[in-house]
Each structure stands twice: as structure tokens, then as C-alpha cells.
Amino acid sequence: MEQRIALAGGLGSLTLREEGPRLWARAELPDDGRGLYKVWLTGRNGRALLGTLVPEPGGRLAAERTFTADALRRQGTWPVTGGTAELTFSFRNDGPPAGWTWERPHGEAFRDRCIRSAAAGLDRVLVRREGERWTMACPFAFDREFPLLPLFCFSRLKQWDEGLFCLFSFDADGAPLMPGK
């Protein structure tokens, strides 16, 4: 049986076909010229790398691979519930958006112990300082755990060339600020 589903964000499609104890998967995206994309299969408890998309005739990017059901189970991805494509390398050499810098979050920046603990799981974030306040932008994907979950109600989304980001603003003492304040 073959199944075709949209990748998260509606950027492309994922075709899945069960072949006995194996699953054949193929992802396709329009080639937007922005850079290299990796595609992940998603399940209830994890994700599995399908591969890096490569150019194909007709202005498309594609990747395909065959998995064993056991391998997907071990990764928490069986049954497959969807997929996502992530820009992993940008061909544009612009660097971060104007006024922002890439940094590793450090716990001392946050007043609240719960926020410090959540920030410990973050890798790289964009930071912008403005006088007595500062804003942190965390990469966001719909199929991944929300960054800084304790601050869900304090977040806002922003789309840049680098992808989708959750923005959080803080005062000089590291206390979160509601959007628009």
C-alpha cells in the first residue's frame, strides 16, 4: 500500500510504501535554491533521518531510502506519522539577521530556575540586545519539542531565511516579557 502525505509546513510531499518488513520512503520538494535540506520521518516518539535532498530534473529536490520496520521502531518512528524538511545549510552567506548574533544560551541569563533548566537543552540561539532588554530567537519546527516550553505563552513566531524561530523577550534581570511589552 502506498501513502502520500504533505511534509510539515506544506513544503513538499512524502511517499511511503510498505514492502513486507520494510518501508520505502521518498521525499520531494521544489528546489528553491536556498541551500541543502535534510528530511526526517516522524513518529509518535521520535524521528529518523530519511536523507539529504539532491537535485533532480524538473527543478525538484528528492531523497529516498528503504528502512526496516525494526529500525524505525527503535527510533520511535514506527508507525511513520509524517515528515519534515529542514534547511541545514544555507547557500546564502548573509550570516544572522541584522542586529542578531548566534550564541549558546547560558543559564545565568535567566532569573527563573525552571527557565534555566529548559534553556540548558538548547543548542544555538539568536540574540539581540536593546538597552535594558534582550530577545532570544530559538529555531522552531512543528514536529519537534517546543523550545523553552515554560514560556509558551510568552513566545511569538518569526520567519527568516534561516527558517522559523520562536522569539522570547527578557528584561535586564532575565525575567520574561509578554509579547508587545
Phi (first) and psi of residue 143, to 5 degrees = -100, 10
Q: Decide: 124 and 102 in contact? Cβ < 8 Å.
A: yes
Query: What confidence score (pLDDT) does residue 104 get?
Result: 83
User: 26-29: long-range contacts at Cβ-Cβ below 8 A with a sequence spacing of 24 or more?
Assistant: 26/62, 26/63, 26/64, 27/51, 27/53, 27/62, 27/63, 27/64, 27/83, 27/85, 28/56, 28/60, 28/61, 28/62, 29/53, 29/60, 29/61, 29/62, 29/85
Q: Across the chain, what does the average pLDDT equal?
A: 88
For 57-82, what is the mean pLDDT? 94
pLDDT score recorded for residue 136: 94
**Average pLDDT in the 18-42 region?**
92
Residues 59-73, mean pLDDT to the nearest whole number:
95
- Position 95 pLDDT exceeds 70: no
- Between 45-54, 86-95, 158-167, the lowest mean confidence (pLDDT) is in 86-95
Is it the case that residue 70 has pLDDT exceeding 90? Answer: yes
Give me the DSSP letters along 6-47: EPGGGSSEEEEEEETTEEEEEEEEE--SSEEEEEEEE-SS-E
Quick: pLDDT tens for 38-53.
Answer: 999 999 998 999 999 9
8-state DSSP, 91:
S
Report residue 86's pLDDT band, with 50, 70 and 90 as the boundaries.
confident
Q: Is the pLDDT of residue 105 over 90?
A: no
- Degrees to nearest 5, angle at CA 88 with 101 and 115: 50
Average of pLDDT values for 80-96?
A: 79
Average pLDDT for 56-74: 95
Please say if the pLDDT value at position 106 is more than 80.
no
Residue 156 confidence class, pLDDT cut points 50, 70, 90: very high
Q: List, in order of start, the domains of the chain with CATH numbers.
A: 2-90 (2.60.40), 101-176 (no CATH)
Q: What percent of the chain shows pLDDT beyond 70?
A: 97
What local confidence, expressed as pLDDT, does residue 39 receive?
94
Closest C-alpha among 154, 144, 97, 85 to residue 125: 97
